[in-house]
Structure 1
């Protein structure tokens, strides 16, 4: 079993669900008259596969949402645009080729994009701002899950679970002739230089064997790869010993596992009827339904009848009516066979699929479901079966039963580059490799283009693929990100006794990210990496721990004293007669001494009215805590507090009786310690 790779997964937007972009409202003070305001959004996408340039796909224009009047003032929300349908229309699903033997790529299933926000007033430009480059995929989730998961689906669910793009159960029974495929999105870093399809084969005699079933050495970021994992593609039926179950996963060039492990049982039981339905799932891949129930095919014929003049000799063999055209519409009724309740629920994926194919001996034939209802649950059912009716999409006008055309002669053809580009890594930087991204087909004998062949993407594993080559033109990216070195907002929480945790210094090196669009786009990628690292787990691993925290050092501005808490998540401090502090009561206020809730290491001005400095505590209800206040390392307040039934308490910061108060002087470094008794 390969060890798991350490990966960072990045978000990808689902075009099957809303992708909403907000353009911030123009300043209401600068533009009190809102009637002339207009908001525009230009959607920019690459013109072809792997292109590093962007072109305008569409421009949307809207007025702003009317201001919402509240008791505290008016809220200006600007304008909202849903760009999902525009992106979805650009993307195309790529079904696997018939009996696909190698790893394939779905070149049109994902796309990078960015939006340009435009604000005008009376047709005069206010500003124009380009967003960072984002990525979208032709996929979607159920409406009930959209609100919670639309920003986290590919990071928290797919990424953390290292899942393939399928909702199918991870324990499937497959037939020896069944085509089966798994799909992987490379939205992670570091990007592997190679993808290996690994199969762990278990034999009936109790032995097992690890096999490298397939390998691809050209890998692009944010692309979907198709892995054939059926018994025929893995050559399991020709193994020297009978195969029982087998497992598959994908590893990188260092044999580190990139995905979950999928388990299959190779069925050896005789089935009188076997059919396979290949269909597009909700996540952009294609799944296979193995049907073992009875099937019935029938053809409905439509005849076009014309009438003609018989002449005046009235010959009996001459027909006055003639069949001008006959068209047959073929329908297939198929039963799934016995299924579990979970498998029956998964049939909704088939019913919702926009692309369905019947697997035959020479092609995947497209069909359309005629069935318009599906019983999804029945409390009285343990095992269940369902019937589906499909209509073949292509009508029939003639009958034939010819052998496979593989042996027929063909005119020699080849493929040549139509467009080239520099390849980028997962961070948007050039790799030093140049690739042909578009190919056209031509006849080898006279060098002319094949007129009926479309210009296609240069996809690894497909006919005519041209591998990338080193190029000096592709060594340096036009825009590289600037360095970032700032402390995070989380404090280390796992320090030892009598220690206080501090923030972790987060550093994103200069030049870690690149862009072909703008410097702002490169810097935004670095900022996104910085934001990704602002977590409690990162602070607990890299944050500082200060021993004897009451003696801490700090450069305090003149005329100020400094506040630090040993338990910042359990303490809030505020000044009752001014908007000063980090308590919930100060949030939404403005001023130089208003800080985020529970923030630590704060400077406050020296003043004499100490009665209004308060401390709010939270902890265990009914628990006694010792509260110690130090100034420059000297204990000035020492008291015990029992928290109320709500687990809180409100008390003076610099006093205990409401009469005598400690007065911190300019430069004082105050430390508040909270200890459970």
Structure 2
């Protein structure tokens, strides 16, 4: 039986490094007397090594603000826009690397190189009076992944929060119910961007016989205390999972230590059909996972050799076997042309999925001697065809190593000339699911040394110390550390949600639920990180279901006053700040004036109606008058109703079909600067 979903997970956002990332610095104070010489700066701060809590400056960009847009007296201050990552090969993307699985990997492993924390620091200088401000924004995360442009517009900021909270997708777009050979290398990658983080990650499997009889779920591989924001690589080939020969299909998924499911379920059919040609390409996909494309069609390998020769002067009396041309260099390269074979099911989806291969940055031919790097020579593919029947495609590859000699030895692992080992450096705390200390310490990085004398290997070589790596150094216990302690506990949250209860009885008005997260629920080793996780939990609990379960219900029969809050200070009819003529505003309902002519005061006041309205739906008409020109443009905002109108001239402006409830009193129209 497939595990039940883990509930109440709070998903944290990440930026996509393979897409263009921009940041806008808000415009400096519009009241500056001069904006000449105004400069904006954006500094990018990154960790000094993977998952480090110490940040260093990577780059500072200088820019200018977009010129103030003036149209008919309307002024718009757009600020300065910076593109701090240009997509593939950008400042952030270039710092991240993919984590290819090892040949025939049979353990869960973590990748710390595909995600990274970073900070943006804003700066503004210049202008009159002189401005000199600096502001470091809260920490963000980025992943070496990307979406198609048309999807990035809609999902760029929410893919790893709102989308993943429902889909729990592995990092792949390959169609489900894939056909695989028993011995085929197959992998799934998964991002751990939710809290509470699992204390143990379990790869679970359930297999089925041809008649549909299920085996029941079992745990095949485990990984303890995975790091938040790391990427886990899961080998899911049938041979690694040790499935029995009678298995016809199997499901895989990830669960936590309580066997609560964290991921989607991926299903595979075992293909026992005899295929005379069987090759596999391992390639990185757009989400940063590694997919295997099985090629069962005919193929051919071609060796192309190029030789360089030099002229040699023939000596007097040289024999017939003397060559006047000497071959000084012989190099060759292999090219491989191979067909996918016909797709047996879901051909249209697989045809579209082949786009991933053409867009891939890294790919390898899986052989019995290892993963051989490839370059795809094919640069186009027909990825959609109406009313397709049998579908297959042919691709050409270049094997990216130089051929200078021939041999045909059996596979074996190379032995180093001098034995080497790895030594731990940079001890850090092992944290529990809520970011608190467990009483254990673990080395964050490993450096390479010679095993015979512990001296450093030159050049200096270092890598992260992560679970699943064959050189992983496990944690050690430190009795001086109190389990559950933390230097930076999260602050308490007691805040109303943004959804209103929809299950109240007739005559009652639904209110929000108060979401409470106790102080110290989360911990962290850096300031602010625990609060981020608490805020993520608040966001995950801020739902309509929460409001319907525990939101308030109040009687909705109290009359409501209307009001105008004119926030543009005026001297009679003239705006104090610029000398333009300001708006005079009144409110009417059903041809009755409820709030009379209101002008801006200093300080602003609220002009409240004497008459009231019973709860219901109304058309509220705002009349705006200017005493003369030039006019000061404004906007009218109906508080609490997400309704706003831009005003640039005299006239009547209608807020149509406004639902008025007792809790709105006084229902206020604000008069604001643009």
Establish whether TM, by shorter chain, passes 0.5: yes
- Which of 525, 532, 538 is 2:546 aligned to? 538
Measured in 2, the distance between the counterparts of 1:122 and 1:313 equals 89
- Which of 264, 281, 284 is 2:285 aligned to? 281
Measured in 1, the distance between the counterparts of 2:213 and 2:367 equals 34
Change in CA separation of 1:256 and 1:651 when aligned onto 2, cut-off 3 Å: closer
Residue 51 of structure 1 corresponds to: 52
Alpha carbons 1:249, 1:262 under 8 Å: kept: yes
Determine if the alignment matches structure 1 residue 142 to structure 2 residue 148. yes
Residue 63 of structure 1 corresponds to: 64
Q: Which moved more, 1:428-437 or 1:163-172?
A: 428-437
Alpha carbons 1:41, 1:59 under 8 Å: kept: yes
Cα distance, 1:470 vs structure 2: 3.9
Change in CA separation of 1:649 and 1:392 when aligned onto 2, cut-off 3 Å: closer
Measured in 2, the distance between the counterparts of 1:323 and 1:651 equals 89
Determine if the alignment matches structure 1 residue 358 to structure 2 residue 359. no
Q: Provide the aligned length of Structure 1 versus Structure 2.
A: 592
Alpha carbons 1:579, 1:590 under 8 Å: kept: no
Higher relative contact order (CA 8 A, sep 6+): 2
Measured in 2, the distance between the counterparts of 1:136 and 1:420 equals 25
Question: Over residues 100-122 of structure 1, what are the superposed CA-to-partner deviations in whole Å (9 max), with x where a residue is unaligned?
Answer: 01011122000111111111116
Residue 506 of structure 1 corresponds to: 515
1:624-639 equivalent positions in 2, closer than 5 A? none
1:212-291 equivalent positions in 2, closer than 5 A? 212-236=219-243, 239=244, 241-291=245-295
Residue 639 of structure 2 corresponds to: none
Gaps of 5+ in 2: 566-583, 590-594, 620-653, 668-674
Cα distance, 1:515 vs structure 2: 5.0
- Which of 459, 464, 469 is 2:466 aligned to? 459
Alpha carbons 1:176, 1:266 under 8 Å: kept: yes
Change in CA separation of 1:383 and 1:170 when aligned onto 2, cut-off 3 Å: same
Residue 492 of structure 2 corresponds to: 483
Cα distance, 1:563 vs structure 2: 3.7
Change in CA separation of 1:285 and 1:607 when aligned onto 2, cut-off 3 Å: closer
Alpha carbons 2:501, 2:544 under 8 Å: kept: yes
The secondary structure found in structure 2 opposite 1:145 is helix
Alpha carbons 2:304, 2:333 under 8 Å: kept: yes
Residue 25 of structure 2 corresponds to: 23
User: Normalising to structure 2: TM-score of the pair?
Assistant: 0.80
Question: Over residues 595-615 of structure 1, what are the superposed CA-to-partner deviations in whole Å (9 max), with x where a residue is unaligned?
Answer: xxxxxxxx976655x49x798
Change in CA separation of 1:79 and 1:468 when aligned onto 2, cut-off 3 Å: farther
Determine if the alignment matches structure 1 residue 128 to structure 2 residue 137. no
Alpha carbons 1:341, 1:382 under 8 Å: kept: no
- Which of 317, 324, 342 is 1:313 aligned to? 317
Cα distance, 1:443 vs structure 2: 2.2
User: Normalising to structure 1: TM-score of the pair?
Assistant: 0.80
Change in CA separation of 1:329 and 1:125 when aligned onto 2, cut-off 3 Å: farther
Question: Over residues 158-216 of structure 1, what are the superposed CA-to-partner deviations in whole Å (9 max), with x where a residue is unaligned?
Answer: 33111111000111000122110011101112110111111101134654323321111
Structure 1 vs Structure 2 CA RMSD: 3.5
Alpha carbons 1:574, 1:581 under 8 Å: kept: no
Measured in 2, the distance between the counterparts of 1:581 and 1:525 equals 47
Cα distance, 1:252 vs structure 2: 0.7
Change in CA separation of 1:529 and 1:131 when aligned onto 2, cut-off 3 Å: farther
Residue 338 of structure 2 corresponds to: 334
Measured in 2, the distance between the counterparts of 1:62 and 1:382 equals 55
Question: Over residues 548-569 of structure 1, what are the superposed CA-to-partner deviations in whole Å (9 max), with x where a residue is unaligned?
Answer: 5548xxxxxxxxxx849xxxxx
